[in-house]
Copies of this chain bind each other. A is one copy, B any other.
Amino acid sequence: MAGIRAAQKEKTRRALIQAAMNQLTAEHGFASLSLREVAREAGIAPTSFYRHFRNMEELGLTLVDEGGLTLRQLLRQSRQQIAKGGSIIRSSVLTFMEFVNNNNAIFRLLLQEKSGNSKEFRLAIAREVEHFTAELVDYLIEEQQFARELAEMQADAIVRIVFSAGADALDADAKERRRLTEQTIVQVRLVARGAEATRAAAKTTKSGE
């Protein structure tokens, strides 16, 4: 009942996934990944690839899924750091940047395929980003008592800024990355302050009627 056979299959499946990851560098993206090279690095014959994936796209979607999984781990981490106190904005941005730093290849894949050539890829990644935004919206409504519409505007803007900064961080050295992180924190606070001012203005208007 050990399933020697199934275990071995899973093992080489992981080898294929790992091989694909390894070949994803700044210079060599998923689009230019070849079935043969991936198979070679995984230590199997090119034709054996088909025992595991119908084609390269299917492998790619698997990678995106795994990337999304890791991204949700980040979200959980971030939420825990908020719970134990400190600046919500600072700790969230720091956690995000740390993720980008530690999962270089995956974040790069997500970024590239976000505006890549496969609609299926684009939709899959858009879904991931929406999760991120939705959780931020919930936080703003429940913890900060923002009106839904204003919370959505704010959250969407913040996510755009943070992801965009994450993209820039990929090409940056350590020093530049620190600068970028601090800048992002300031920018997110700018948005938060703008939303706060907007809320205050709305209240004044309403009470002045």
Contacts and interface: CB of A to CB of B under 8 A. Distances in A.
Interface of A: 26-29, 31-32, 108, 111-112, 114-119, 122, 126, 153-154, 156-157, 160-161, 163-165, 167-168, 170-171, 183, 186-187, 189-198
Contacts of A126: 168, 171
B190 A157 contact: yes
Given A31-B31, A197-B194, A116 B122 contact: no
Identical copies in the complex: 2
A5 B6 CA distance: 68
A139 B55 CA distance: 50
Given A189-B194, A192-B194, A193-B197, 7 more contacts: A27-B118, A31-B31, A112-B115, A160-B164, A190-B195, A191-B191, A194-B197
